[in-house]
Amino acid sequence: MTPEQLLTFAYVADAGNISRAGELLHLSQPAVSGQLRALQEWFGEPLYRRRGHGVVLTSAGERLAEQARLLRQAYGQARAVRDDWRNVASGTLRLGASTTPASYLLPALVAEFRQRYPAVTLHLSDGNTAQIVQRLPLLDMAFIEGEVPAGLPADTQAHPWRRDEVVAVVRADHPLGGGRSASLAQLARYSLVMREPGSGVRRLVEQAFAQAGLAPEVALELAGVEGVKQAVRAGLGVGFVSAMSMRHEDGSLSALRIGTGEGTAESTGAGTGVGAEGLARTLSILLPHAGAPARAAVLFLELCRRAAGVAVA
């Protein structure tokens, strides 16, 4: 057994896929497979089994993976000490973000960070909130919408970052299109166009309707903000998106604040966020390796918090 074999096993255990682990380690698939075979021969028991396009750990593999992750964390701490000593940010920063921060907040921040620290290579992957949380062990930082889910890895820190508002979207010629706001009861009279399961926007909207005792018809499910807006333009129903995504619209759509009007003030609970600020939510930053964060991750976190007007220690 070598430290490299254990480190490789930690990445395979988290990725659940040998090819994906190789990409993260900048190793070929045969090189990763060779290290796994050598580690398994040393251990004397099967550590994983192939399933579909990925791998699943055996009971022995799960136990060994715990130690492999501890070794990776120790390596990370040593790397952080080195970077602090040099006071130079370099290396790779792996970011994951759900749709709203990935599309409307992070591009400008990534550009500023690249200008300040050109030696850092940034990788940004997007998806819905559930997908980003699932990838958390493979990321240096994650940006999600809505409630921070339970069951995150023990060394994960969650930082509240920004407030956002979810608005209803209708065609300009829709019966509600002439107004600036609409209640949940008014919106429930029309068919809805919803984001895919796992979306933070969808979860928030569904909670609001459920707490109001309303069960509107969902006419269509689509992945992505632009897909929802295109479906609304086609006349398929009322959609729901972040207010940030409506900043540069051409007038074919109307954004409606979800207010406390007819049927709303009496029936919604505080958990939905419906109030004077509309259907509000928090965008959060997750630091999955908080015990030994990469220096680049600490610097990017500071940049994000300063940009949002959050005090930085």
Tens of pLDDT, residue by residue over 221-260, are: 998 899 999 999 999 999 999 999 998 888 899 999 997 5
Residue 6 has pLDDT above 70, yes or no: yes
Distances in Å between the Cα of 204 and the Cα atoms of 14, 132, 152, 278, 279 are 29, 17, 20, 12, 8
List pLDDT tens digits, range 289-308. 888 888 889 899 999 999 98
Decide if pLDDT at 17 tops 50.
yes
Average pLDDT over residues 37-49: 92
Tokens at 239, concatenated:
């959609």
- Give me the CATH topology for the region 3-85: Arc Repressor Mutant, subunit A (1.10.10)
Predicted structure pTM score: 0.69
User: What integer pLDDT is reported at residue 224 of this predicted model?
Assistant: 87
Q: Is the pLDDT of residue 84 over 70?
A: no
Asked whether residue 69 carries a pLDDT value surpassing 70, the answer given is yes
Which residues, 6 or more positions from 223, have their beta carbon under 8 angstroms from its beta carbon? 128, 195, 196
Tokens 């994983």 map to which residue? 48
Rounded Cα distance, 111 and 109, in Å = 5
Q: The domain 179-276 is classified under which CATH number: 3.20.20.70, 3.40.190.10, 3.40.718.10, 3.90.190.10?
A: 3.40.190.10
- Asked if residue 309 lies in contact with residue 193, where contact means CB atoms within 8 angstroms, the answer is no
What is the predicted pLDDT for the residue at 269? Answer: 35
- What's the confidence (pLDDT) of residue 267? 33
Indicate the average pLDDT of the chain. 87
Instruction: Give the separation between CA 101 and CA 245, rounded to whole angstroms.
Output: 10
Higher pLDDT, 20 or 285: 285
**Phi, psi (degrees; rounded to nearest 5) at 48:** -160, 160
Q: Which residue has the higher pLDDT, 181 or 294?
A: 181
Token pair of 7 as six digits: 């480190």
Domains 89-162+282-307 and 179-276 share a fold: yes
The domains of the chain are located at 3-85, 89-162+282-307, 179-276
Model confidence at 195: pLDDT above 50: yes
How large is the average pLDDT for residues 66-84?
81
pLDDT of residue 178: 86
CB atoms within 10 A of CB 145: 25
Query: Is the model more confident about 270 or about 104?
Result: 104
Q: For 206-219, what is the mean pLDDT?
A: 93
Residue 104 has pLDDT above 90, yes or no: yes
pLDDT at residue 214 greater than cutoff 90: yes
Q: Measure the CA angle with vertex 161, ends 160 and 164; round to 5°.
A: 105
Q: Is pLDDT of 313 > 90?
A: no
Residue-level pLDDT at 271: 37
Domain spanning 89-162+282-307: CATH 3.90.1640.10:
no
Is the pLDDT confidence value at 263 over 60?
no
| Arithmetic mean of pLDDT, 197-211 | 92
